[in-house]
Amino acid sequence: MRGTPYPTLDGLLRGARAAVAARPGVLRLRDIGTSRAGRPLWLLSAGHGPRQVLTVAGAHANEPVGGATSLRLAQRFARDPSVLGGGAGGLNCTWHFLLCLDPDGASLAEGWMTANVSGRSDTVDTEGTLRADGTSTADGTFDAVDIARASGASDTAGVAHAVDPAHGWTAGPSSEGMPPPGAGRPARAGPPAAAPPPIGSYYRGFYRPAFAAQPEFPPVAGDPRAPMPESEVLLRLIDGLRPVVQFSLHGVEVGGTFLQLTRAVPGAPAAYRRIAADLAIPLEHRPFDGMGWLVEGPGVLVLPDGSPAEERDPSGFVSRATWLHAMRHGTVSAVVEAPFWSVAGVGDPRPVAEPRRELADVSEILLGRIKQLESVVGEVDPRPPGTPDGLAHFTAARELMDIGSGVVDTWSAAELATTVGNSVSLGIAARRIPLRAAAMMSKALGGAPALDTLVDGWARELEGTFDARWVAVADQTALQARTMLALARALM
């Protein structure tokens, strides 16, 4: 694997500093607080308009796409400040990018991105290759299409879409009849496309904190646990900016894309679906994130009026989501999820003949694999490790191993698996939960052949069962950037 598929923490900072140096009158970069471990939280701001827009990246340690998207869009604003200006067609706003909300978690999760890089620490930008100093070789050809589509116009004729030269996907159509992400669009001249990163390498380096250690979800008032400093930084930022819209950029390793909105935005679902279709990224037919949210057609969830300001995760931890905190200021929060490996089947709307049977099958997979993992861990060494990093991996893995029955109960109560797409999504989740747990437990225990065998085998089975296809990073970031621009224009 040449380079890395996403910018690392160091790459994000290099890219942001290089962009500011190139356009100091348009972009500003400042440290707005520190993490638990003392790492800075960087805010990159573009434009000078009176209205505020906030993008939060890196809320989950295993989802680096948001940082890549933030750099891409900030570089676009630097090249054409009129997009944010007060003139005709401008948004008349200041757009802020919190580059990584959880740098401590990201530092534990980014090893997979550099493990197979031959002595290099360069990042691969979403429009072209970033040099070691963070500057880009990109030519910016994606922008005309993005702005046209965001404003509701038709595609601009003759404008080539961006591709990721190091990780573009060029295989033929999938068995579902949907072309692989990015297929059929003209590519810019560049080096030959390398193979996509192996899905096994992603999981071998996997880390995602336990639910209570995710800063986007601070504890409710009265919880004895104090909010993490990262959570407090974000809440202060929201209260200070009072943004018109807050974007939270997320990624899922295998599946499809979906959008969550805390308030209905007329025209937004249709615009988002057009963008996903243009990039050939499948929509989750019925996402089961936000189980109590309204489904506004394929791939879009809207928070119902009068919903509680608290979220309960499968572990039982109750939090006050920062998405909902912003509503006190009239802010619309939008969560934009992009898949790293896409599965065409998640968008299949056909009804399932026996939903109960489908649900029983996926439940058996989840609980059976957790039981298998418990057996292997018991034979290796079930004691918590003594190092902070090891304990973080162990705690997160143990939590996933303990929630299986609760997840199955939630699925059953919600009457899921009614469509082929939802059944596919559940099948992916049933495999993903124990796979994540096994990967983190192996890291926690310093590597164990029996656990590594599970990780490698389960990762191959996940990829093969669902024909998972790597989505070029250019397409992942285009999905998020274009969706943000479309929503911002709709709201302003």
Rounded to the nearest angstrom, the gap between the alpha carbon of residue 379 and the centroid of all alpha carbons in its chain is 35
pLDDT in tens, 393-404: 999 999 999 999
Residue partners of 333: CB distance under 8 A and separation at least 6: 245, 246, 247, 248, 261, 262, 323, 324, 326, 327
For residue range 196-206, list pLDDT tens digits in order: 788 999 999 99
Encode pLDDT of 326-378 as tens digits.
Answer: 999 999 999 999 999 999 999 999 999 999 999 999 999 999 999 999 999 99
Average pLDDT for the chain: 83
Confidence class for position 279, pLDDT limits 50, 70, 90? very high
The pTM of the full predicted model, rounded to 2 decimals, is 0.86
Rounded to an integer, the average pLDDT of 60-70 is 96
Half-sphere exposure of 363 (CA within 13 A, CB side): 18
Top pLDDT among 175 and 41 is at 41
Of 468, 41, 489, 478, the C-alpha closest to 230 is 41
Q: State residue 147's pLDDT score.
A: 37
Report pLDDT for 316: 63
- Whose tokens are 């995710």? That residue is 214
Strand partners, 219: 319
Q: Is the pLDDT of residue 143 over 90?
A: no
pLDDT computed for residue 169 by the predictor: 24
Considering the chain, what percentage of its residues have pLDDT values greater than 90?
A: 65
Query: Residue range 311-319: average pLDDT?
Result: 66
Residue 378 CA to residue 438 CA, distance in Å, equals 12
- Residue 318 pLDDT: 67
Which residues sit opposite 247 in a β-bridge?
Answer: 55, 334
CA separation for the pair 365, 169 (Å, rounded): 30
Dihedral of alpha carbons 179, 182, 184, 190, sign: negative
Using pLDDT thresholds of 50, 70 and 90, give the confidence band for residue 314: low
For residues 284 and 347, the answer to whether their CB atoms sit within 8 Å is: yes
pLDDT tens for each residue of 202-233:
999 999 999 889 999 888 777 788 889 999 99
Q: pLDDT by residue (tens digit) across 231-264?
A: 999 999 999 999 999 999 999 999 999 999 999 9
Spatial neighbors of 461 by CB under 8 A, at least 6 apart, are 431
pLDDT for 80 equals: 95
Lowest mean pLDDT among 16-30, 242-256, 303-317, 373-387: 303-317
Give mean pLDDT, residues 401-426: 89
Q: Are strands 93-98 and 51-56 parallel, antiparallel or unpaired?
A: parallel
Q: Band of the pLDDT at 4, cuts 50, 70, 90?
A: low
Print burial letters for 41-56: b (CB count within 10 Å at least 16), e (below 16): bbbbbbbebebbbbbb
User: In this structure, is the dihedral angle defined by the CA atoms of residues 440, 441, 446 and 449, taken in order, positive or negative?
Assistant: negative
Report how far residue 27's alpha carbon sits from residue 449's, in angstroms, rounded to the nearest whole number: 48
* Paired tokens of 253: 């390793």
